[in-house]
Each structure stands twice: as C-alpha cells, then as structure tokens.
Amino acid sequence: MNSLADKTASELSELYKKNSCTQKEILDSLTQAIHSKDGKLNAYVKFEQTRPIHRKPPATKARHQNIGGQASADGDLRSPLWGVPIAIKDNICVEGQEASCASKILQNYIAPYNATVIEKLLDAGAVIFGRTNMDEFAFGSSCETSFYGPAKNPWDLARVPGGSSGGSAASVASRTAIAALGSDTGGSIRQPAALCGIVGLKPTYGRVSRYGLIAFASSLDQIGPMTRDVRDSALLLNVIAGYDPKDSTSADVPVPDYTSFLGQSIKGMKIGMPKEYFKEGLSKEVGEAIKSAVKKLEGLGAVVSEVSLPHTEHAVNVYYIVAPSEASSNLARFDGVRFGYRNKSAQTLKEMYEKSRGDGFGAEAKRRIILGTFALSSGYYDAYYLKAMKVRTKIKSDFDEAFKKVDVLLTPTAPSPAFKIGEKTEDPLQMYLSDIYTISANLAGVPAISIPCGFSKNNLPIGLQFLAKPFDEGTLFKVSHAFEQATEFHKQKPEEPSS
C-alpha cells in the first residue's frame, strides 16, 4: 500500500501544489496508520487526546483558488511545509497540549505557551500532529525509561528504537509520521535515527531556539528535524532555524536556504575520518557498512583521509559530568509547588519535596540528578564540573584543528545496530556508551547528521554520521544528499508490525 502517510514532506508539498490531495486526506491517512501500527510501536504519547493544531491564516482561502500551483503572494503557500503534519517530541511545549517529558512528575501538565519552534512551524503552515514517546526527560538511549513504556523499533519490535527521541524515530520510520522534531543532548536525535534508518540532524548549538524545549542540559540541548530523507531535513531546518530574542544562547546568524545545498557535487570535498572512532567497541557490521559508504563517497569524488580527534576518549566522561550537573539544576523546578505531581500525604515541606520528586522521577532521572548534584557539591566542584568544562575546551579545539584540514568528518553514528529491549537496562554504564560517537558534537557545539548507510544481516538499519563546522549545516546537507542520491537505503521501509 502506498498511502499518503508514506510520502515525504516535499512530496506532499508537490501534491498540494497540484491540488491532488487535501490536508484532511493526509491527516486521515496518518491517523489510520497510527491506529493500525502504534499499538505495537508505542511511538506516540496519548495520541487520542492530542488534537492537531493548524493555524489558518487568511491566506488559506487564496491557496485553494490558486490554480496552477505556483507560489503566490500569500506567505503560507510559499512554505513547502504548508499542511504537512509534524510529530513533536514530548519535551517540546505546545500551548494547550500535555508536555510530560514521558515522566510521571509532569503527567497531565498542560503547557500554557508555544515553544519558538512550534510558533515557527505554525507560521509556516505546518500541522502540529501528535506527541512522540521518549526517554524520561531525554535521559536514555533506548526509550526504555519512558513512564509510558518503551517505544519499539519498527524494524524489530523486540528491539529499541534508540533514544531519547525514540518515538520520533520510530514514527517517522514506520510511516506513522511524515516528519518529527526531536531533541539532541548527546545523540538523542542521531542515534535513534541511525537505529531506525532515518535522517536525524542535530544543528549547531544556537542555530535553533531552545525556548520551550524542556531543558535537560542547557549548554548541550538542540532541537532538530527527524525525517525520511535529506531534503525534508533541509526543509524543516529552513523553518525552525534562526535567532530568537527569547533565547540568549541562540545565534544571530543568517539562515541560508538549506535546500540550495542539495544536488551539488561533492567532487573534491575533503572528508576526514577520525581514527579514534574506529577502535574497539565498534561492531563489525557497522564498521563494514561505513567502509563501503566511504568507497561510495570516494566514487562521487570526495577525498577521504584519516584525521585525529585526540581527546575523543574523554568525551563520554566529560558528558556524564556536564550533562547531569546541568540536569540536576534544570530539574529542580519539578518540586510539586506550582505544577506537576505532588505527593499529597507529605506533612512537612521537605517531605513534600522529597516524596513528590521521589515518586515522580524514574530511576534513570534519579541517577542523573544524584550524579549531577554530587559533581556540583561543595568540595567536588573543581574535580568534577570544572575539570570536565576544561576537558570540554580540549575536545572543542580538537574539532577546530580537524576542520582546518577537512570539510566534514565521517564517523559511525552508533557502535551497533538496535539492541534488544532490556539488554542494557541493568547496566547504566553500558547504556551510556551507546552515545560514544555522538556526544562530542554536543560538547563542541558543532552540527552533525545521521543518515542511513546500510543494513545488518538481521535487516537492522545502520547509520553514518557527518559533522561539520559551526553553522555549516549546508555542507552536511550537501554531502548527505549526494550520498543519499547514490544509494537506496533511505527508500527501505520496515514491514508492517505483525500482530
């Protein structure tokens, strides 16, 4: 069956232009797909209670009168996202919708305002459609820490979709979403994209406003698109990128038309492969998929060489100090005073805090809060937090050095294809190592994209990651699109989950 739900955003846009489909048909098609598949996938959170939101500007009427499909003066028609449903990760605030971060502590919390990315999508005519499952507060790499139960990988329901944006990845891969927004603090867009065989982009820190993204680690978080192909990724970034006066850390850097980088030749492009990413820990299958991808890229004229990012081995250590430290402070506001879960049996104030937070947070959230609180506590700050921030500087300068020599870096996205549900839940440290290749981009603030580059013998998707200089997402789209056009991986889709 080739339903409207199978289309990409750019394909839908074409259909709209030809007046060959209506918004209702698309939403119906998606709803039908969700009804038939999501019972197994659990990619959405409370789908039935979440109403689609679409801003109807006065120009809407003009659109339908616009025979011939050419862009007219009205703004929404010019937007290729007009009428395109976008699924939203459950940690991005949409006014009037529940924003729970898949946590008990925020269950039934209705956000009273729109995140800036939501405003931008609505202004572009997109439809805000459903909220996707995730690891609780984005703490995890498997979607298993969700209060709503784990989302499943559409390629194998016994396996994880990756995380934390596992629901976004699973919905886009399973054709229950056209495209989705995720958030990435240490790989939470790219790793699930790789595990589910889709395209996931973490933009440069500051490229996309964080206003309305429920913070995990403020100096690492970025919102980004999760799509079926590179073109959709560029289309979405065109809309959500840009300076936001509500976010002091968003950069006032012009937003180019990212689709202009698509279809360009990569002849002579210098691609570096950091040798530290190809050591022990990388599965053979992933290693081989990367190897053949490199051949493909060389065939397209790229010049591939080895480079070094010498402090790579410390990235996970740094990350597991910086991220939990910031998180421990960011999550202090979940105190049961103004909103969210409160333990009503508590008698004293301190007991109210401790029991509300004790009941409301899951085990991984507690581990990270404890870890971060300790790293910031008196007597340990210098040894942990300050030290980590200094090593972070070294990791960042590794990238500065590498980008003097090459245009992009190529690495695996994840050490292995999707692992089994429950496989790593008992060992937090093993779970943390799932992010070993994605964490550095967040620490250095550079943009990175994961695109499909092969399949394992079990028919599980494998992803590769490109990284570029800050604000050079264009180069990422250029090389990713060239690779995608030369391969068929992105066209594969998982079979219907069997009952």
Partner 1 sequence: MNSKYLTTIGLEVHVQLNSKTKIFCGCEIRFGAPPNSQVCPVCLGLPGVLPVLNHQAFRLGLRAVLALRGTPSKRIKFDRKNYYYPDLPKGYQISQYDCPLGQGGALEIETEGRLKKIRLTRAHLEEDAGKLMHDISAAASHVDLNRAGTPLLEIVSEPELETPEEAYQYLTHLKAIIKSIGVSECNMEKGHLRCDANVSVRKNASDLLGKKVEIKNLNSFKAVKAALQYEIKRQTEALEKGEAIPQETRLWDDLKQKTLSMRSKEEAHDYRYFPEPDLVPFFVTQEEIDRELASLPELPKEKAERFARDYGLTTYDAGLLTQSSGIADFFEDCASGFPGHKTIVNWVIGPISAYLNEASLEFEALKLAPETLIRLIKLVESGQLSFQTAKEKVFPEVLKTHRDPEEVMKEKGLAQVSDEGALDAWIAEAIQAHPKVVSDFKSGKETAAMFLVGQVMKKSRGTANPGKVQELMKKKLKELV
Partner 2 sequence: MTPPPISNDSEAIGPPLADETGGGVSEFNLKHIASLARLHFEEKDLKVFESQVAGILKFVDELRKVNVDGVEPTSHPLPLTNVFREDEIKPSLNVEEFQKNSPQVRGRFFEVPKVIEDKS
* Residues belonging to the active site: 89, 164, 188
Residue 459 binds which of partner 1, partner 2, none (CB < 5-8 A, kind-dependent): none
Burial state string for 479-489 with b = 16 or more CB within 10 A and e = fewer than 16:
bbbbbbeebeb
What does 393 interact with, of partner 2, partner 1, none (CB < 5 to 8 A by kind)?
Answer: partner 2
Map residues 274-313 to x or -, x wherever contact with partner 2 holds by CB under 8 A: -------------------------------------x--
Beta-bridge mates of residue 304? 271
How far apart CA 253 and CA 387 sit, in angstroms, is 31
Collapse the DSSP code of 447 into the 3-class scheme (helix H, G, I; strand E, B; otherwise coil) and give the result.
coil
Sign of the alpha-carbon dihedral angle for 99, 105, 109, 114: negative
Identify the residue whose tokens are 């990238």.
Answer: 399
- CA triplet 312, 199, 79: central angle to 5 degrees? 125
Which of residues 111 and 289 has its CB atom nearest to partner 2 in the complex? 111
Pairing of strands 85-89, 127-132: parallel
User: With respect to partner 2, which residue has the nearer C-beta, 37 or 424?
Assistant: 424
- Shortest Å distance, C-beta 409 to partner 2: 16
Which C-beta is closer to partner 2: that of 127 or that of 395?
Answer: 395
Preceding amide of 164 cis, omega within 30: yes
Position 439, amino acid: I
CB of 140 to partner 2, least distance (A): 14
On the CB side of 406, how many CA atoms lie within 13 Å of its CA? 25
Q: Which is nearer to partner 2, 43 or 371 (CB)?
A: 371
Residues at the site binding partner 1, with contacts judged by CB under 8 A? 91-93, 99, 101, 106, 109, 111-113, 115, 210-215, 217-219, 245-249, 325-326, 328-329, 331-335, 337-339, 349, 353, 373, 376-378, 381, 385
Nearer to partner 2, 40 or 366 (CB): 366
- The gap from C-alpha 297 to its chain's centroid, in whole angstroms, comes to 25
C-alpha 304/C-alpha 361 separation (Å) is: 46
> What angle is formed at CA 86 by the lines to CA 82 and CA 91, rounded to 5 degrees?
140
Interface pick for partner 2 out of 278, 366, 423, 493 (rule CB under 8 A): 366
- Smallest gap from Cβ 370 to partner 1, in A, equals 13
Question: In this chain, which of 267, 394, 405, 491 binds partner 2, going by CB under 8 A?
Answer: 394
251 vs 269, which CB is nearer to partner 2? 251
Q: Which stretch binds partner 2 (CB under 8 A): 139-147, 156-164, 259-267, 328-336?
A: 328-336
* Cα distances (angstroms) measured from residue 388 to each of 108, 311, 436: 36, 12, 16
CB of 206 to partner 2, least distance (A): 5
Q: How far is CA 479 from the centre of its chain?
A: 19
Tokens encoding 303: 């010049």
Interacting partner of 101 out of partner 1, partner 2, none (Cβ under 5 to 8 A depending on kind): partner 1
Q: Does 385 bind partner 2 (CB under 8 A)?
A: yes
Q: Which is nearer to partner 2, 46 or 314 (CB)?
A: 314
Binding residues for partner 2 restricted to 99-158, rule: CB under 8 A: 108-110, 112
Chain positions 228 to 247 lying near partner 2, rule: CB under 8 A, are 245
213 binds, among partner 1, partner 2, none (CB under 5 to 8 A by kind): partner 1
3-state DSSP: the chain helix, strand, coil percent, rounded to 5? 40, 15, 45
CA–CA separation, 498 and 118 (whole Å): 34
Sites for partner 2 among residues 336-365 (CB under 8 A): 336-342, 344, 346-355, 357-359, 361, 363
